[in-house]
Chain A
Amino acid sequence: MRTLRFRLLAATLVAVAVALVLAGLLLAGLFRDHVMRQFSQGLNAQLDQITARLEFDAAGQPQIDPQALTDPRWSRPYSGLYWQVDGANSEQQRGVLRSRSLWDATLILPSDAVADGVVHVHEVTGPDGARLLLVERTITRDDLRATPWRLIVAGNLRETVMAVARFKGVLAASLAALLVLLCAAALAQVAIGLAPLRALQRKLTLVHAGTAQRLDGSFPQEVQPLIDDFNAVLDRNAEVVTRARTQAGNLAHAIKTPLAAMSQAAAVALQRPEACADLATLVEEQVGLARRHVDWHLARSRAAAAQGVPGARVLVQPVLSGLLRVMERVHAERGLTLHCTPMAPDLAFAGEAQDLQEILGNLLDNACKWARHEVLIAATSIECAHGGRMRVVIDDDGPGIDSDRRDTVMARGARLDESVPGTGLGLAIVNELVGLYGGRVRLQAPPAGGLRVEVELPRG
């Protein structure tokens, strides 16, 4: 059920089988109607001949001269072609005149009277138990006293029924042959149609095994976009791996320096115990340095991962409410009011969720660290020369930052106040991330005091 081949084949086979069965039924029905019509037309012609040979004697009794009827079947017993004349008014007058072929049997008709001259068709059982098709016509002599007579001609249906059966046999055989041919065609079609997918599978195996870097070759139009996307992912993956290696190298390098300094100092302290006090200070200092390197490189690698993801889109509201839940817990002791102005539920950022979390998380964390009573958050959609953008404004009622120092805090590792815990990298990371997305961060002093951070980012 899972394979495309099975699905395609099953659908085709069901459709073809249904179509062929319907065609068979229709053709058989048409053929039967046609043969029956021809047969009854033949009987009508015979009836006309009988009608023409009908004469009446002086007593008004009908007479037919058998010699005048040329068809030999009229005289051969049970030949399958019969005529008979009945009086229309009474049962006693049934079979007044009969063809020799009837021998001593009589055709028995339903006694339904019809208007003069109109031909009436019945199916009845004949003298030898065979099924007969029967046509009759009621004739009345032109004087008023005369009784009406029913002229009857009947023919055996055996030949016709056999012809229909033969036709049905031939028809079924040809349709079955057609079904087989169509099935073969469907198999061939599926095999040819799915060939590119099998080729794709082989190439994927190569990529999986590591012998190929990407999916080469051209594929049908329907598959090509998928291949292109997949190649893009593979390329990006390779790029990310390279970048990750570089980042890891940079980080290792950055940490090895403080490690070397500490190991050097430890060696000195081992030889000169009086240097132990210096060692503690140095360790504290170098650990702090290493920690900042780690934070910085982690943030950078997160930021780098964000680049070049096409079509990434993340809704702002869920990200913001998740962060607000964190702020409410982590800064619970501060008793702050976090107020988020309702925003459009479909407001989205054109980038990765983790980056938006990193940007807004750092900004909100800063605001919560410094705010006295409340933090206000508002996110809106704006239009500008660079296309659709979104703006997030975060206000706190803390001490704010003097205008001449606002540029300093954006720099890497800058901290204006060492008394509040933090790494001093928050705003620098935000600045870097926002820069990567082509947005911008601005620090402002709202009229009511405190600090306003305004971030503009591409809108998704």
Chain B
Amino acid sequence: MRVLLVEDDPTLRNQLRAGLQEAGYVVDEADNGRDGHHLGANESFDAVILDLGLPVLDGISVLKRWREAGLTLPVLILTARDSWHERVAGIDAGADDYLAKPFHMEELLARVRALIRRAQGLASPLLLCGALALDTRSGRVTLNGQPVSLTSHEYRMLSYLMHRPGTVVSRTELTEHLYAQDFDRDSNTIEVFVGRLRRKLPPETIETVRGMGYRLATPP
């Protein structure tokens, strides 16, 4: 899962990036509103963490511009402005969640997880696909109740697919969501990881749709 982090304070940004990366997210960063807006409008992200007090262009304006342009990606506002009228303004500008600073990293991660899941229309934090189960809270994958050991790359890929059951996901889309902007996208790592993932899961779990991409088979 790829997350955009727009925060101008370098210390907090580094802490947030570290925490998010540790939780398995790919993080792109911006330290001002204009760059943040540009990244969000032109790259694919699964969620955005947006500060409000940003240089060049403030967070509310960034959010409004995204929403006016029809971007529906889930946005969490993370700000020290925590009065209720500011929360109402943030939500009404199109935010999906609002977290006041100071905050606990665990709470932020829980909220980002929930945002990404809800954005795919999934209500439960436990994602199921036949005998395969993925718990977004703990990051554990089980098959028939038995834990499956996955590397962080493999987990990210499976998680992305399990958030979109039955949907064909192209290789480009996977690359865009699993790697940061500066990643060399010409390599064939996607195929390599799909191959490794297939070996750990029951056959036919990940189907190849010729010329289009991959799809997680939904059990009848």
Chain A interfacial positions (CB closer than 8 Å to B): 287, 291, 298, 302, 322-323, 325-326, 329-330, 332-333, 335, 353-354, 357-358, 360-362, 421
Contact = CB atoms under 8 A, between A and B. Distances in A.
A361 B83 CA distance: 9
Contact of B83 (A325, A357, A360): A357
B118 A332 contact: yes
Interface stretch (B55-63, B92-100, B144-152): B92-100
Nearest to B102: A291
A251 to B, nearest CB: 14
A326 to B, nearest CB: 5
A432 B67 CA distance: 38
Contact of A323 (B84, B97, B110, B111): B84
B22 interface: no
B115 to A, nearest CB: 9
Contacts of A353: 85
A338 to B, nearest CB: 14
A332 B102 contact: no
Given A326-B88, A421-B107, 6 more contacts: A325-B88, A325-B91, A329-B91, A332-B96, A333-B114, A357-B85
Contacts of A329: 91, 95-98
A330 B97 contact: yes
A353 B87 CA distance: 13
B210 interface: no
Interface in B97-152: 97-98, 102, 104, 107, 110-111, 114, 118, 123
Interface string B25-46: 0000000000000000000000
A362 B95 contact: no
Nearest to B91: A326
B114 A332 contact: yes
12 contacts: A322-B88, A326-B98, A329-B95, A330-B98, A332-B118, A333-B111, A354-B83, A354-B84, A357-B83, A357-B84, A361-B84, A421-B107
A357 B98 contact: no
B97 A332 contact: yes
Contacts of A287: 102
B92 A325 contact: yes
Nearest to A358: B84
A353 B89 CA distance: 13
| Among A291, A302, A329, A421: residue with most chain B CB under 10 A | A329
A358 B84 CA distance: 6
Given A332-B118, A333-B114, A326 B87 contact: yes
Interface string B155-174: 00000000000000000000
A329 B63 CA distance: 16
A357 B88 contact: yes
Contacts of A421: 104, 107
A331 B96 CA distance: 10
A326 B123 contact: no
A333 B104 CA distance: 17
Interface in B163-205: none
A362 B85 CA distance: 11
Contacts of B83: 298, 302, 354, 357-358
Contacts of B114: 332-333
Give 10 closest A-B pairs by Cβ, nearest first.
A361-B84, A322-B88, A357-B84, A326-B91, A357-B85, A333-B114, A326-B87, A354-B85, A325-B91, A329-B91
B88 A323 contact: yes
Nearest to B88: A322
A434 to B, nearest CB: 15
Contacts of A302: 83
Contacts of A325: 88, 91-92
B32 to A, nearest CB: 25
Contacts of B123: 335
Contacts of B98: 326, 329-330
A152 to B, nearest CB: 93
B107 A322 contact: no
B125 to A, nearest CB: 8
B92 A322 contact: yes
A7 B92 CA distance: 43
**Most-contacted residue by chain B among A326, A335, A360 (CB, 10 A):** A326
Contacts of B85: 353-354, 357-358
Considering residues B84, B88, B104, B110, which has the most beta carbons from chain A within 10 angstroms of its beta carbon? B84
A423 to B, nearest CB: 9
A304 B97 CA distance: 29
Contacts of B107: 421
Contact of B87 (A291, A298, A332, A361): A361
